[in-house]
Structure 1
Amino acid sequence: MPLKLSTLVVNAALVTLVSPGAHAGPFAPDTGDTAAYSDTRLAITFDTAPSLGSAGKIKVFTTDGTLVDTIDVSDAVSKMSGETQTLFSARNTEIDKLGGNVPSLAQWRYVYYRPVVISGSTASIKLHDGALRPDTAYYVNIDNGVLNGKVAGASFRGVSGTSAWTFKTKATPGSPTAVTVDDDGPADFRTVQGALDWIMQNGCVTCAYAGAAKTITVKNGNYRELLFLRNVNNLTITGESRSGVIVFYDNSDSFNPGTGFGTTSAGATLVSAGPNVGTRRYLGGGRNVLLAENADLLKLTNFTLWNAHRKTSGWDNQAETMYFNSSTLGGSRLSALSMNFMSAQDTLLLKGWSWFYKSYVSGDVDFIWGSPYAALFEQSELHTIVDGTNASSGGYIFQARAAYGYPGFVVLNSKLTADAAIPAGSTWLARSGGLAPPTYCTTKTTTGGLGSANLGCDNLAYINTRMGTHIRTAGWQATPAPTPATPTATAGWRERGSMDLSGNTLNVSGRNQNVSSTGIDLSGLDTRTEVFQAWNNGAGWVPATP
């Protein structure tokens, strides 16, 4: 059974924020460790829960005294940009450059993140991505006052000198294309991003192993991190178990504004952090957990991807779990098999060609959206959760801004479910993206990538879908009107063979027939072969089941 978002929220113990692994002393890696991970998180175990100070730095040096990383727990990083937001503390904020140690990349993902996390009696410190290198010796210094508490009965006064906390990282993995990740057991990496960096370094589209099949196997555990993948084809990321591998982060449009994309440098423009709450720096990396760009044949299977942001009034609450930012006609293929994607608003943002099979997607407002050529949800569950800012609203499942002349979103042999607290007849099947002709949805893409004239189409078809009582009788929100306003066999809002959750024929006589259709022949979308037959200008793509 898929793991519900409400389960994770209520049972906080399911998500342990710190998993430093077994260690003998208060430090992880242990002092003197000669096989530490290059993507390790530093950790200190206190007698009881420590507190985070308001000033001071954590510094890591190579043994020759070269400074390789600095973490500032004060508000200096946030305040240097001139931001004025009042939603959350400006302290304990750093800017990460994801993929920053990958030589082949010319664009990276810049994001704000919280480097110090306290969970129970352990303080975990995430260094900047790629700060540590393999087979290298380091020592750590921590200013007095960064962390407050007792270690082995004595007040913690920081760490100083060149020998108090030392460790050496182990050598590079044996395989350039197949690696494992485990947050607390033997593996090649401790983090998913560490593994992604390794794959991007060896298997990018211009690298030595460009054409090879690549795999990342993630062992059961909780991985609190933002992720970036760029310029890699034929990569499979597989979890040990669907509910046992949880990759998550609390990210949102207020914390990291924008949908996100790779850039050559961090943006400096100040934008609104939410209604009447001041400004936030727009770095460019965006509000999702996983950003995948310029990727083809990316396969995700058997794990949970979760944006842990809790919707709150006054925030900009858009918070994708994944943005698949790949949109070529002859590439840009994503498969998700036996996956959980969980957030609230804007859970999945899709381009290109996407296939979701036996997967679970949860959210409340527009929780599946984007500009794909074709995105098929087959034998999957689309689950509406209670909106934390408007409990009486059932929200919207889709907002399509699909590519003109292609299938867009298709829901096939799947089911629409909801939290028990969702009012009956309160959820819309979709609302329009509001991008109307003559600017949008006017020109079929035949070469290159998507442009404004090629997208904005409200192309969505439900075929043989079981629907809970939370779905509105009218089905589709008609204001603003969809594009096209009148559906056809190949475009617009369409529905065929709808059932209740028990499999009985659903009465759809109350559907808004002005903007949708329940009678159009949709036999051209009955199989994944048909949905993806336009891939690569008619060459077609037939993704295979396990």
Structure 2
Amino acid sequence: MKLRAASASLALVMILAGCNSNDSGSVVSPTPTPASTPTPGVSITSALLPASGETAAYKDTLLKLTFNGPPVATGSGQIRVYKSDGTLVDTIDTTGGVTVAGGETQTALGNGNTEIDKIGGGVSTLTQYRFTYYRPIRISGNTATIKLHDNVLAYDTSYYVQIDQSVFNGPIAGFNSFPGISGTTGWTFKTKAAPTSTTAVTVDDDGAADFRSVQGALNYMMTVGCASCGAGNTAAKTITIKNGTYDEQLFLRNVNNLTINGESRAGTVVQNNNWEAFNPGVGGSRATPNTTLTNIGGNTALGNRLTLGGGRAVLLIEGGDQIKVNNFTMQNTHVKDATQNSQAEVIYYNSANLNGSRFIGTDMNFIGTQDTLQMKGWVWIYNSLIAGDVDFIWGYPFAMAIENSELRTVADPSAPTSGGYIFQARSAKGYPGFVVLGGSLTYANGVPSGSTYLARSGGVNQAGGYCTTMQVLGASASNATQYCDNLAFIGVKMDSHVAAAGWWINPIPNLLPSATEGWRESGSLTPTGTALSMTGRNTTYGSSTANLTGLNTRAKVFAQWNGNVGWTPAP
């Protein structure tokens, strides 16, 4: 969505109301954009998906046009979707230009093909949503794919689509150049009815299923299975994602006891290119988008951008307990750029209380660069891969056990001589924080030997304050300025990329090591399973001799959950 200088106030109202879609149902179709005169007998309908006239299209369908050669998105013109009665439900403005009069000044990212989404919009149980920038048009080979704003279509409803002739260049269906799609009959479809099950749905990008997108399924579960929806609070719910690549920004709020299963660990890929400069901030839900301006530069000032509030992760989860992901790949595809802030999470689990807030990841690939996983609450990761380079496991958990997993450092193209830092722990006083049980620390090609550190501190010393006071029932460990450096490695294989000193001490951590807190390791091993030499290890701020038997099983790590009732997760 573009906020033009001449109509910034009106456009901002449109954002607050729902991001280009018409929620009142009163907007009537404008005069259609003229199209080029077609050759007799030639129709564009053969190049469209959903097929024109489709009567069982998906509520979360993507719009696809297949050209005779690679098309070009020109950065000019609009895409509009109407109900069959002429009510406008969505508009995508592909035109570049300045946004927010006197405000947004960045040009490094470009403003063309950029819209503001309200993820979760239209979900009846929500009062807060995820607001983010996204790219609505994607071109791969001869196919142009258009992603509408989230959840703007309804079940069992008829629609027609209009696309200005100026939006695309390229031959299509017998036309030498894209003729545009106008009128009320050029591209029509009807969506199918809602799923019948309220506890189990499937997602498939190209086959028979309940939804085409992961967010479509999440929106459904937030509607029928939210924490305030009676039986939906406790009923076990499952989303099954079939093999395919699902390129989406995702949001889940106030849903408990939900498992998301992939068809295969390598074949089911959920991904997005989202990062700090594109969507500034760690993220959170809001009733309306934030309009604060943030400079997008890292070491260089590259201009200002709206901090909408939805943040830089692929998946934002809030307020959920017993959320499980299993057997697929999640990836933030952003490639770091030294000229701008490239923090980019795969998951931000933003749920922190002492008697809920449980997250499980089993047989997963979590692949990113900086800040791959940002976690709170109580987290168990098992038999999985976590890849990244700088603080790629971090956050504010009461306890997070990473068991029988591979933590892989990848090369940082913006700092090729550095191997980065694996952890930045910001856990609550009196709780285990991060515990790595077995598994291995590995590295990808390009990571220099001896260049990776086990952890670094955030640098805000809370001695005499937060780090001397234990959290109490109902308290949150989510304050970004208050944290303790609690991290333990137990029986972990460490490869040659790990620095001899082990721990990065500039700035120094907030706690000195002991059996119950601080930076610690016990029984560290070489990749072949022999005892790892501790020669050169920092022994002031890190310990390799502390007794860690109180943390050497997942049951012990999570013993304090729910007032010492404890939690022992299982695959």
TM-aligned CA deviation for residue 436 of structure 1: 1.3
Aligned equivalents of 1:337 and 1:184: distance in 2?
26
Trace 1:143-162 onto structure 2 (pairs within 5 A): 143-154=164-175, 155-162=177-184
For 1:510-544, what per-residue CA distance to the aligned partner results, in whole angstroms no more than 9, with x for missing partners? 21001111111000001000000000110100001
Q: 2:443 aligns with which of 394, 410, 418?
A: 418
Residues 1:381 and 1:433: Cα distance change in structure 2 (over 3 Å)? same
Number of the residue aligned with 1:519:
545
RMSD: 1.4
Trace 1:59-70 onto structure 2 (pairs within 5 A): 59-70=80-91
Number of the residue aligned with 1:17:
none
Trace 1:421-440 onto structure 2 (pairs within 5 A): 421-437=446-462, 438-440=464-466
Trace 1:481-520 onto structure 2 (pairs within 5 A): 481-484=508-511, 486-520=512-546
SS in 2 for 1:350: strand
SS in 2 for 1:201: helix
Number of the residue aligned with 2:132:
111
Q: Does 1:234 align with 2:257?
A: yes
The one-letter amino acid of 1:399's match is Q
The one-letter amino acid of 2:315's match is L
Relative to the length of structure 2, the TM-score reads 0.90
Number of the residue aligned with 2:115:
94
Number of the residue aligned with 2:16:
none
Trace 1:106-145 onto structure 2 (pairs within 5 A): 106-145=127-166
Number of the residue aligned with 1:458:
485
Q: Does 1:302 align with 2:324?
A: no
Contact 1:217 / 1:240 at 8 angstroms: preserved in 2? yes
TM-aligned CA deviation for residue 336 of structure 1: 0.2
SS in 1 for 2:257: strand
For 1:230-276, what per-residue CA distance to the aligned partner results, in whole angstroms no more than 9, with x for missing partners? 00000000000001011111000000000000111001111011121
Trace 1:215-364 onto structure 2 (pairs within 5 A): 215-274=238-297, 275-364=300-389
After superposing the two structures, state which structure 1 stretch, 291-300 or 432-441, moved more.
432-441
Residues 1:453 and 1:381: Cα distance change in structure 2 (over 3 Å)? closer
TM-aligned CA deviation for residue 127 of structure 1: 0.3
The one-letter amino acid of 2:135's match is R
Q: 1:207 aligns with which of 229, 232, 236?
A: 229
SS in 1 for 2:448: coil
SS in 1 for 2:514: coil
For 1:316-367, what per-residue CA distance to the aligned partner results, in whole angstroms no more than 9, with x for missing partners? 0100000000001000000000001111000000100000000100001000
Contact 1:358 / 1:380 at 8 angstroms: preserved in 2? yes
The one-letter amino acid of 1:58's match is I
* Number of residue pairs the alignment of both structures matches: 522
Q: Does 1:447 align with 2:449?
A: no
Aligned equivalents of 1:342 and 1:507: distance in 2?
30
For 1:200-235, what per-residue CA distance to the aligned partner results, in whole angstroms no more than 9, with x for missing partners? 000101114222100000000000000000000000
Aligned equivalents of 2:435 and 2:45: distance in 1?
53
TM-aligned CA deviation for residue 153 of structure 1: 2.8
User: Structure 2: any 5+ residue segments left out of the alignment?
Assistant: 1-43
Contact 1:81 / 1:268 at 8 angstroms: preserved in 2? no
TM-aligned CA deviation for residue 177 of structure 1: 1.7
SS in 2 for 1:344: coil
Aligned equivalents of 2:102 and 2:271: distance in 1?
27
Contact 1:439 / 1:453 at 8 angstroms: preserved in 2? no
Contact 1:439 / 1:452 at 8 angstroms: preserved in 2? no
Contact 1:401 / 1:435 at 8 angstroms: preserved in 2? no
Residues 1:80 and 1:226: Cα distance change in structure 2 (over 3 Å)? farther
For 1:85-110, what per-residue CA distance to the aligned partner results, in whole angstroms no more than 9, with x for missing partners? 12222101111111111111111000
SS in 1 for 2:555: helix
Number of the residue aligned with 1:49:
70
Aligned equivalents of 1:150 and 1:90: distance in 2?
26
Aligned equivalents of 2:196 and 2:456: distance in 1?
50
The one-letter amino acid of 1:406's match is Y
The one-letter amino acid of 2:240's match is T
After superposing the two structures, state which structure 1 stretch, 466-475 or 23-32, moved more.
23-32
The one-letter amino acid of 2:363's match is S
Number of the residue aligned with 1:27:
48
TM-aligned CA deviation for residue 423 of structure 1: 1.2
The one-letter amino acid of 1:473's match is A
The one-letter amino acid of 2:249's match is L
Contact 1:239 / 1:245 at 8 angstroms: preserved in 2? yes
Contact 1:499 / 1:505 at 8 angstroms: preserved in 2? yes
Contact 1:386 / 1:394 at 8 angstroms: preserved in 2? yes
Residues 1:149 and 1:80: Cα distance change in structure 2 (over 3 Å)? farther
Q: 1:193 aligns with which of 203, 212, 215?
A: 215
Number of the residue aligned with 2:33:
none
SS in 2 for 1:71: strand
Number of the residue aligned with 1:20:
none
- The alignment-based identity, stated in percent, is 53
For 1:143-197, what per-residue CA distance to the aligned partner results, in whole angstroms no more than 9, with x for missing partners? 1101111112312121000001000000000101210000000000000000000
TM-aligned CA deviation for residue 439 of structure 1: 4.2
TM-aligned CA deviation for residue 420 of structure 1: 2.9
SS in 2 for 1:158: coil
Aligned equivalents of 2:159 and 2:468: distance in 1?
58
TM-aligned CA deviation for residue 453 of structure 1: 9.8
SS in 1 for 2:252: strand
Q: Does 1:409 align with 2:434?
A: yes
Contact 2:45 / 2:186 at 8 angstroms: preserved in 1? no
Residues 1:357 and 1:24: Cα distance change in structure 2 (over 3 Å)? farther
TM-aligned CA deviation for residue 447 of structure 1: 2.3
TM-aligned CA deviation for residue 505 of structure 1: 0.7
Number of the residue aligned with 1:170:
192
Residues 1:81 and 1:410: Cα distance change in structure 2 (over 3 Å)? farther
TM-aligned CA deviation for residue 54 of structure 1: 2.2
TM-aligned CA deviation for residue 478 of structure 1: 1.2
The one-letter amino acid of 1:362's match is A
For 1:421-467, what per-residue CA distance to the aligned partner results, in whole angstroms no more than 9, with x for missing partners? 21111100001121212443232111222364994110000000000
Contact 1:382 / 1:415 at 8 angstroms: preserved in 2? yes
In the TM superposition, structure 1's runs of 4+ consecutive aligned residues that sit over 6 Å from their partners are none
SS in 1 for 2:269: strand
Number of the residue aligned with 2:36:
none
Rg bigger for which structure? Answer: 2
The one-letter amino acid of 1:457's match is C
